[in-house]
Each structure stands twice: as C-alpha cells, then as structure tokens.
C-alpha cells in the first residue's frame, strides 16, 4: 500500500534517475475508487511493475446521436491499420453515414486491395492510413500513390498520434491530401471525406455537428516576419514536448529540446539561445540546478570581461555556456505548481518568469 502514498517511492534514490513526483499512483488510486473500482499491481525488484484497474461501467442508455445524414453518392473507403480499436471506431462512424470500409493491416495488403479494386472498376475514393503502423513507412507509401496512375485517384488521409502537427508539411509533400490527429473525432472525419465527393472542394457538415477544425495549411509568414528566434525547451515529458513545440513553431520559432537539465547545459555549450523554457522537476538534473549553473557561468563571464580578459574563455568549460554577445539569457520556468512559494523558488534560482502548466 505504501506505493500508493503521496511522494513515496520504493527507492528514494530513484527520483533523480527516473521521471515522476510520486503523485501519479496516489491520484490514480483515488480516481479509480471514486468510480467504484479497484487498482492492483504485481512488482518484481529489478524487473518492473504492472498496474491494472477494474471499473464497473453501466451500458450507455443512448447510442451516438444520430445527427448525420448519409454521404451521397456513397464513397468507397479503405482503412490501413493494425489497431482493432481504431478499426472499430472508424467503421462505426462510416456505417452511420451508410459507408462500407475495406481494411488492410499492411502496406502490401493495402496496395493489393486497391489495385484489385481498380481492375474491378471500383477504385477506392479514400484511403485512411495509420501512421503508427510499425511495418509501414508512411512517406514511401504516400509517394507510391503519387507516381502510380492506378493509385493516384485515391485520396490519402494520414492518421497521426496527438501532437504530431510537425508531420503535416512532410505528409503533403509525400502525397497525403490531409491529416487527422488521434483520437479521430466524428465531425472531423466527416469533414475530411467530403472533398472526395465528385471532386467538390467542400461540403458543410450535417446540422448539429460542431464547426470544422482550423485549416491544416497554415499561411506562410509574411515578408515582414522577423528572423526566427531559437528557443531551448527543457522538458522531460514527451507529450508536453510535442504540445509546446507545436505552439512555438506556429509562432515561427526554432525549437530545440533537452530532456533534463544536463542536456540543457550540453545544448548551451553548442550554441546560444534567445530564450529558455525550463521545466522544474526533471530526472538527472532539475531545472533549479540547471538555472543556477547557467547564472553562475554568466556571472563568471561578466567578471572575466570586466577584468580585461576579452573574449578568451578560461577553464572550466562552464564559461562556454553563454555566448559573448549576450550577458543574460532569459529563462522561463514551466511547472505544475502554482503557489506563491513555488514562484519565489523559481525566481530565487535565477529564472526570469514563471508559467504554470498546462500552458496555453
């Protein structure tokens, strides 16, 4: 039971090596119990742990709201994925619009299926391609369609994991007409299928569906856009990395990622940065220690320059953490904590400002 207590780990020395604050299991246990369920686990020291939960759920009284109208004329749809849950969800959506679906679990199977449909004069109008398929290179697969007359009439839609907006441009270059992020929403799938109707560019979604998603083709930066600033994002959580990177790249900023404080120091030795977003709680070296080392290097450099040392950098190599043209690199803290004492701790460590997660 002690594993489910706040801030308790089997080995207190593990916190610096692995991610986590000790809150996850305690919060999960409370959530499961609030839903009338139970959580259990098996664990073997040196091997790992397996956690699972059982939650009693009642069957829904109402099905998916019938707010749709059939897509007409009917489209011929193909789905390339090895995920049974994804196949079940998308098939259910398509059936609500009176559309069938041919499925394949590999790129070769999909190509064979589409070529056979072409020979039968029943070419597929749309193929949904799961980019997470381990046996598939989605870029080579997409280019195959672009260069083959039997395949080029099929509209390709790439299905990616959440937060992979960075793949949009590459997908377009490789022959994909559009891209949807998982989990696939009902109205987004409907909207993405409509352009395949007789070559018409758009169709309004049925009454009751929410507004269509923002365009997947961002406007190019104007000529007045200033040169891209280079940002260092220091964050150990992959999902947070993807979300923050997507937000920053939309602002036409270059983003490099470091997974902990030590990687941040290594990155700063390689090049200067205009701004650093620093997570506070990370394995190996946290954001507080990394910030203190950066500020120490800046102070030592300033002392050297004031003493007439010029641009020559003495040992140790920490002096190369800051470039000679910037005496102070701005550091903004990223933290899940929002108390005044947390803000004070960030400022005392040398950070310039403080943002609470989730950042929007």
Give me the sign of the Cα torsion angle 159, 170, 211, 360. Answer: positive
3-state secondary structure the chain: CHHHCCCCCCCHHHCCCCCCCCCHHHHHHHHHHHCCCEEEEEEECCCEEEEEEECCCCCCCCCCCCCCCCCCCCCCEEEECCCHHHHHHHHHHHHHCCCCEEEECCHHHHHHHHHHHHHCCCCCCEEEEECCCCCCCHHHHHHHHHCCCCCCCCEEEEEECCCCHHHHHHHHHCCCCEEEECCCCHHHHHHHHHHHCCCCCCCCCCCCCCCCCCCCCCCCCCCCCCCCCEEEEECCCHHHHHHHHHHHHCCCCEEEEECCHHHHHHHHHHCCCCEEEEECCCCCCCHHHHHHHHHHHHHHHHHHHHCCCCCCCCCCHHHHHCCCCCCCCCEEEEECCCCHHHHHHHHHHCCCEEEECCCC
Per-residue pLDDT at 231: 93
- Sequence-ordered list of residues with C-beta below 8 angstroms from that of 2, at least 6 positions apart, any chain: 8
Query: Which residue positions in the chain have pLDDT lower than 50?
Result: 8-13, 15, 66, 199-226, 313-316, 319, 321-322, 324
Asked if residue 313 lies in contact with residue 320, where contact means CB atoms within 8 angstroms, the answer is: yes
Asked if residue 3 lies in contact with residue 10, where contact means CB atoms within 8 angstroms, the answer is: yes
Q: Which fold has domain 77-196?
A: Rossmann fold (3.40.50)
Distance CA 91, CA 78 (A): 10
Q: What are phi and psi of 257, to 5 degrees?
A: -120, 135
For the segment(s) 230-356, the CATH number from 3.40.50.1820, 3.40.50.2300, 3.40.718.10, 1.10.10.10 is 3.40.50.2300
Domain ranges of the chain: 2-54, 77-196, 230-356
User: Shortest CA distance to 93 belongs to which of 25, 159, 28, 15?
Assistant: 159
Per-residue pLDDT at 21: 53
Integer Rg of the chain from CA: 26
Distance CA 199, CA 37 (A): 51
Asked if residue 294 lies in contact with residue 322, where contact means CB atoms within 8 angstroms, the answer is: yes
Distance CA 217, CA 307 (A): 53
Q: What is the pTM of this model?
A: 0.43
Asked if residue 160 lies in contact with residue 178, where contact means CB atoms within 8 angstroms, the answer is: no
Per-residue pLDDT at 3: 56
Per-residue pLDDT at 227: 53
Residue 1: CB atoms within 10 A of its CB come to 6
Asked if residue 103 lies in contact with residue 199, where contact means CB atoms within 8 angstroms, the answer is: no
Give the pLDDT confidence of 195-254 residue by residue, as tens digits: 776 544 344 444 443 333 333 333 444 444 445 689 999 999 888 899 999 889 888 889
């Amino acid at each position: 039971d002690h594993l489910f207590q706040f801030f308790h780990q089997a080995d207190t020395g593990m916190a610096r090596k692995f991610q986590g604050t000790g809150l996850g299991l305690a919060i999960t246990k409370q959530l499961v119990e609030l839903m009338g369920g139970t959580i259990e686990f098996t664990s073997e020291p040196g091997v790992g742990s397996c956690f699972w939960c059982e939650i009693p759920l009642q069957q829904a009284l109402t099905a998916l709201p019938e707010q749709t109208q059939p897509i007409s004329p009917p489209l011929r749809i193909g789905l390339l994925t090895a995920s049974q849950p994804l196949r079940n969800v998308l098939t259910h959506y398509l059936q609500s619009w009176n559309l069938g679906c041919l499925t394949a679990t590999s790129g070769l199977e999909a190509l064979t299926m589409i070529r056979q449909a072409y020979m039968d004069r029943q070419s597929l109008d749309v193929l949904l391609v799961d980019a997470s398929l381990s046996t598939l290179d989605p870029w080579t697969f997409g280019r195959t369609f672009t260069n083959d007359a039997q395949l080029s009439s099929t509209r390709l839609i790439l299905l990616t994991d959440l937060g992979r907006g960075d793949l949009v441009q590459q997908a377009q270059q490789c022959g994909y007409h559009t891209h949807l992020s998982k989990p696939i929403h009902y109205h987004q799938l409907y909207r993405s299928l409509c352009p395949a109707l007789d070559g018409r560019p758009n169709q309004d979604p049925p009454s009751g569906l929410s507004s269509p998603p923002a365009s997947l083709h961002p406007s190019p930066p104007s000529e007045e856009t200033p040169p891209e600033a280079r940002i260092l994002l220091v964050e150990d959580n992959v999902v947070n990395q993807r979300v923050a990177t997507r937000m920053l790249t939309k602002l036409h900023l270059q983003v490099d990622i470091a997974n902990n404080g030590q990687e941040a120091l290594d990155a700063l030795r390689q090049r200067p940065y205009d701004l650093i977003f620093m997570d506070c709680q990370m394995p190996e070296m946290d954001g507080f220690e990394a910030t203190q080392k950066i500020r120490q290097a800046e102070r030592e450099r300033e002392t050297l320059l004031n003493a007439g040392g010029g641009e020559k950098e003495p040992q140790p190599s920490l002096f190369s953490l800051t470039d000679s043209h910037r005496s102070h690199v701005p550091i903004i803290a990223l933290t899940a904590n929002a108390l005044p004492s947390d803000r004070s701790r960030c400022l005392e460590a040398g950070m310039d400002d403080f943002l609470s997660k989730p950042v929007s």
